[in-house]
A and B are shown apart, each in its own frame.
Chain A
Amino acid sequence: MTWERLRKIIDDVKEKFGEDLVREVYVEGKIAKIVVKKEFIVEVARYLRDTHGFDHVKGVTGVDLSRLREGGGPYIEVLYHLGSLEDQELNDVILNISVLLDIENPTVSSLYSIWPSVEFHEREVYDMLGVIFNGHPKLERILLPEYWMDIPPLRKEYKVPGRE
Chain B
Amino acid sequence: MVLEEKKKIEVYDTGGPRLTFSYGPQHPGTGHFRMIVTVSGDTIVDLEPDPGFVHRGEEKMAEYKTWITNIPHLERPAILDAAGMVIPYCLTVEKLMDVEIPGRAKYLRTIVAELDRIASHLYWFSLYGVFLGHTTMFLWCVNDREFILDLSQLITGQRFTHAYYVPGGVRNDAPKQVPKELVKEFKYYYSRMIGREPSQEELSEDFSKYVLAVTHFMELRLDHYYEMFFNSEIFLERVRNIGVLKREDAIRLGVPGTTLRASGVKYDTRVNDPYDAYPFLKFEIPVRNEGDCYARAMVGYQEIRESLKIIRQAIEQMPEGPFKLKQHPVVIKVPKGEALGRAEAARGEIIYYIVSDGTDKPYRLRMITPSFRLLPALKHLTIGARIADIPPIYWSLNYWPVEADR
Using a CB–CB cutoff of 8 Å, the interface residues on chain A facing chain B are 27, 29-31, 55-59, 61, 63-64, 67-70, 79, 81, 85-86, 91-94, 96, 115-117, 119-121, 124, 128, 142-145, 153-154, 158, 160, 163
Contact = CB atoms under 8 A, between A and B. Distances in A.
Contacts of B372: 120-121, 124
B405 interface: yes
A61 B52 contact: no
Contacts of A68: 355, 357, 363
A107 B84 CA distance: 35
Contacts of B342: 94
B52 A143 contact: yes
A154 B357 contact: no
Contacts, number: 96
A70 B337 CA distance: 10
A128 to B, nearest CB: 8
A128 B52 CA distance: 12
A163 B366 CA distance: 22
A119 B376 contact: yes
B216 interface: no
Given A56-B253, A115-B252, A120-B376, 11 more contacts: A30-B337, A31-B338, A56-B254, A115-B254, A117-B373, A117-B376, A121-B372, A124-B372, A144-B55, A153-B57, A158-B60
A57 B368 CA distance: 11
B363 A59 contact: no
Contacts of B61: 160
Contact of B273 (A81, A92, A128): A92
Contact of B340 (A69, A81, A142, A144): A81
User: How big is chain B's contact interface, by range?
Assistant: 35 or more
B171 interface: no
Q: Which 4 A-B pairs have the closest CB atoms?
A: A117-B254, A59-B368, A56-B254, A143-B52
B351 A59 contact: yes
A158 B96 CA distance: 27
Interface in B58-76: 59-61, 64
Contact of A144 (B52, B59, B357, B368): B52
Contacts of A144: 52, 55
Contacts of B405: 143
Nearest to A155: B60
Nearest to B363: A68
Nearest to B50: A142
Contacts of A79: 353
Contacts of A27: 337
B245 to A, nearest CB: 14
A120 B251 CA distance: 16
B252 A117 contact: yes
Interface in B325-345: 336-340, 342
A96 B45 CA distance: 36
B32 interface: no
Contacts of A55: 251-252
Contacts of A61: 353, 366, 368
A93 B340 CA distance: 10
A108 B251 CA distance: 25
Contacts of A56: 251-254
Contacts of A116: 252-253, 376
Nearest to A158: B60
A119 B253 CA distance: 9
B369 to A, nearest CB: 9
Contacts of B95: 29-30
- Residue from B273, B340, B373 with most neighbouring chain A CB atoms (10 Å): B340
A19 B368 CA distance: 31
B358 interface: yes
A131 to B, nearest CB: 14
Nearest to B268: A91
- Residue from B59, B273, B353 with most neighbouring chain A CB atoms (10 Å): B353
B272 interface: yes
A113 B252 CA distance: 12
A64 B357 CA distance: 13
B51 interface: yes
25 contacts: A27-B337, A29-B95, A30-B337, A31-B339, A56-B251, A56-B252, A56-B253, A58-B349, A58-B351, A58-B373, A59-B351, A63-B364, A85-B265, A85-B267, A91-B267, A92-B272, A93-B273, A120-B375, A120-B376, A121-B372, A142-B51, A143-B51, A144-B55, A153-B60, A163-B64
